Each structure stands twice: as C-alpha cells, then as structure tokens.
Amino acid sequence: MPRNTSTPVVPPALSWVPVRGDSMWPSLRSGDHAGVEPLEGAPRPGDVLLARFDHALVLHRLRRWEAGAVALRGDNSPQEDSPLDPSRVLG
C-alpha cells in the first residue's frame, strides 16, 4: 500500500512551545506555537533558537555564535540580549 505523502512527517524530538509576548513580532505572535527540535550542527545567524535565560525560556533570533557566548535578539527588540553560554541553547 503506498504511503500518504501529503501528511508531513514530524520528527519525534519536535516539541511545541507557546509564544508569549511580542519580542519576535511579526515573525512570531503571542499565542502562536513554535516547533523546536534539538540542534543538528551549528546554527546559522538568522535561525530562531530556544534558550534558557535566568527568568524564562526565550525564542529569539541568532545574531552570533562564538566560543563561549551566543548573541540573540528578538525581531521586535531594539538591542541584543545579554550574551549566553551555548549550553543554554535548547533547540
């Protein structure tokens, strides 16, 4: 029997994270759900990443990935977030 190819295959490691706030507006809006999966290789500038900050989990866009520090910024934010250790990036 042929497989139904119109239904997308969801990776088993994919998790859905609710979006709160407007820091990623208009790309992501409060109430949206973002699919997050583990990183496979180094992320590229422009990728949206889920990271653990001291106060919350945050979905922001990667600006720079350097040894020992990751620079993220929300699309609707005027400045970059404080640098994070790469171990805080969850997907």
Number of domains in the chain: 1
Q: What pLDDT shows up at residue 29? A: 96
38, HSE (Cβ side, Cα atoms, 13 Å): 5
85 vs 8, more confident = 85
Tell me, yes or no, whether 32 lies in a domain. Answer: yes
Q: What pLDDT shows up at residue 76? A: 96
Tell me, yes or no, whether 70 lies in a domain. Answer: yes
- Domain residues for the domain of 42 are 15-88
Would you say how long the chain is, in residues? 91
pLDDT tens readout for residues 30-71: 999 999 999 888 899 999 999 999 999 999 999 999 888 999
33, HSE (Cβ side, Cα atoms, 13 Å): 5
Tell me, yes or no, whether 3 lies in a domain. Answer: no
Q: What pLDDT shows up at residue 79? A: 96
Residue 6 confidence (pLDDT) above 90: no
In angstroms, the CA 52 to CA 50 distance is 7
Q: What pLDDT shows up at residue 5? A: 52
CA angle 79, 47, 59 (to 5 degrees): 60
Tell me, yes or no, whether 80 lies in a domain. Answer: yes
